[in-house]
Amino acid sequence: MKQYIVKPGKKVALSDWDPNDISGFPGAKEDAIEQLKKMTKKLESLQNLLYAEHKHKLLIVLQAMDTAGKDGTIRHVFEGVNPQGVRVVSYKMPTAEELDHDYLWRVHKNVPGKGEMVIFNRSHYEDVLIVRVHQLVPEEVWRKRYQQINNFERMLSEEGTTILKFYLNIDELAQKERLEARLEDPSKNWKFNVDDLKERKLWPDYMKAYEDALSETGTKWAPWTIVPSNHKWFRNLVISTRIVETLESLAMEYPKAEAGDEKLKIV
């Protein structure tokens, strides 16, 4: 799965990244689904270990265009984890209180504590994406934010937070089909928002904004993974594998029993 990780300093052109690519898993779809089940069990065990050891912190950032599958990823990849040690934070339009502070204020208070895994469903990157596309602030403001974000994430990393950032890469055709499905399927009608059609018209602007964000903020301490996401099963497999491999690299251990505990008798 390493082929999907953006090398720090690399200029990203999304036309070079195929949303239909499934070459990262050479087997059949059925084999990949079985592998995903194994990854889910591993993630469940590793997240329990993360929580018990109470040493490391894991921040997972999910960014994508509408319908790319942020909610689906959270539902399928993290289905077995213990809610006691996991939080999902969704970032929507800032509140009046949040607008009274700097744009990272609402983000910083939601980062993980020791033993915790936090998943950002959208994130601080909205402040160099939607803010840019809709011209909510001048270019001289949002352009400075790349370095500010890098510095913020570096500080988190130096304070013990492991950061994984995923861009769920779909194409316009896949988005069209998923939007149509929301209209046609009564169980998905609630997901449809007419504003999604307005945002869809800005696709080229968003692609340029994403390319710059991925290029400017892919670092050693907070790398981006561009996940081919036209195939939902493959999207989930890439993300779960990346998270499992990262947690395994932390070489975590369960805390040892207190000295003398072995002599205690339960009556």
- Give the pLDDT confidence of 204-233 residue by residue, as tens digits: 999 999 999 999 999 999 999 999 999 999
70-77 helix and 232-249 helix, angle to the nearest 10 degrees: 60
- CATH number, residue 13: 3.40.50.300
**Does the residue 28 lie in any domain?**
yes
Give domain status of residue 259, yes or no: no
Summarised one tens digit per residue, pLDDT across range 100-125 is 999 999 999 999 999 999 999 999 99
Any domain includes 184: yes
Rg (CA), the chain: 20
Q: How many domains does the chain divide into?
A: 1
> Would you say residue 254 lies in a domain?
no
168 strand-pairing partners: 64, 227
pTM above 0.85, yes or no: yes
Q: What is the pLDDT of residue 91?
A: 94
Residue 105 lies in a domain: yes
- Which portions of the chain are predicted below pLDDT 50? none
Nearest-10 Cα torsion for 78, 79, 81, 86: 60
What pLDDT shows up at residue 223?
Answer: 97
CA distance 150 to 81: 29
- pLDDT value of residue 54: 96
Structure confidence at residue 148 (pLDDT): 98
Distance CA 171, CA 21 (A): 12
